[in-house]
Amino acid sequence: MLHVEGTADSQFGTNAYLVLDEESGDAVIIDAHLEPDLIVEQARARGATVRAILLTHTDVDHIGGLARLLQEWPDVPVAVHDAEREVVAEGKPLRRQWPIELPAAPRVESLVEGENFRAGSLVFEVFHTPGHSPGGVTLKIGNHLFTGDALFAGSIGRSDFHNSDGRLLLESIKSKLMTHPDEFLVLSGHGPASTIGQERRYNPFL
């Protein structure tokens, strides 16, 4: 049985998720917002064995808590798309507007479209959904889609940064996400959960 639990930080309302296989106890954390102790407490309360930290992309509000999570789980890999690997592996900022100082993660693995990412008993399908950022990904497990800052309930991600591309973002959403059945859950980087059907009918950007 898959258990998914989210928290949001108070500064940016950025969501981070604990995804837990209740049978095995294996878990991953998706994104590392600026109040990482919320996620740590969730994992402890559930008795989760965290196997990996997966990043939908590397904006500061999605990785600001990474150092704290690695303090708690120093041996787990941090998985990210290769287009943004240097942010995590070398501590380079994704956006020049928001320079960050984060220690380099000691163990970085790749999220590759078309390849499953395995973390213990959990298996995620990876979709490259760039546009908001070059290495944005959506992670699929069961009927859950963790869309990062690509697709939100009633909206889509920003594309006004120097390394964003609005046309590519829409193309990514329409070709990679909206092809899923209506009942699939959309669990995004900000805001409430939605479904593909809800976004198909009511999202004004699509």
Domain locations in the chain as residue ranges: 2-202
Q: Which amino acid is at 176?
A: K
By percentage, how much of the chain surpasses pLDDT 90? 93
CA dihedral 124, 177, 200, 188 (to 10 degrees): 60
- Confidence label for 102 from pLDDT (cuts 50, 70 and 90): confident
pLDDT at 100 over 80: no
- Confidence label for 104 from pLDDT (cuts 50, 70 and 90): confident
Q: Answer with the residue of higher pLDDT: 81 or 103.
A: 81
Q: How confident is the model at residue 206, as a pLDDT?
A: 96
Q: How confident is the model at residue 113, as a pLDDT?
A: 97
pLDDT digits (tens, 9 = 90+) for 32-85: 999 999 999 999 999 999 999 999 999 999 999 999 999 999 999 999 999 999
Q: Which two tokens stand for residue 25?
A: 């106890």
Is 0.95 surpassed by the pTM of this model?
yes
Q: Which residues pair with 190 in a beta bridge?
A: 14
Per residue, the 3-state secondary structure of 7-43, as one string, reads EECCCCCEEEEEEEECCCCEEEEECCCCCHHHHHHHH
Pairing of β 185-188 and β 144-148: parallel
pLDDT at 99 over 80: no
State the chain's mean pLDDT as an integer.
Answer: 96
- Confidence label for 96 from pLDDT (cuts 50, 70 and 90): confident
Instruction: Could you please state the CATH topology (level 3) that the domain comprising 2-202 is classified under.
Output: Metallo-beta-lactamase; Chain A (3.60.15)
